[in-house]
Amino acid sequence: MATIEVSKAKGEAAKAAADADKVAGISKVDAETTIARTEQEKIAEIKEAELNATVIVPANKAKEKAIIDAEAVKQEAILKAEAKAAEILKEAEAKANATQMQLEAVK
């Protein structure tokens, strides 16, 4: 009887060891998967940071500069148009005054 119980205990111990190995194997696979996923996430973060530094930030700076340059050109055009309008108005006033003087001289 003792032999049967010893044999039974050995079988249970072997089954427990196999179960432990199975659980350990699954845990190891889970850990390796998690590590690989974490590494991929870090690589993606690094690539995103590189993209941001090499493409996005310079593009945004170029866009901001283009907006500033366009505003400067617009302001210059407005000032030139206002100056031209003032010149035309001055000439028109001078002609109107000359015409007014001629009319008064005729009376």
Q: Which residues of 6-42 are buried (b: 16+ CB within 10 A; e: fewer)?
A: eeeeeeeeeeeeeeeeeeeeeeeeeeeeeeeeeeeee
Residue 51 or residue 22, greater confidence: 51
Task: Say whether pLDDT at 79 is over 80.
Answer: yes
Distance of CA 77 to the CA centre of its chain: 33
Distance CA 82, CA 80 (A): 5
Q: Please tell me the pTM assigned to this model.
A: 0.50
Distance CA 51, CA 62 (A): 16
pLDDT of residue 36: 85
Residue 21 or residue 66, greater confidence: 66
Lookup: tokens for 29: 């696979």
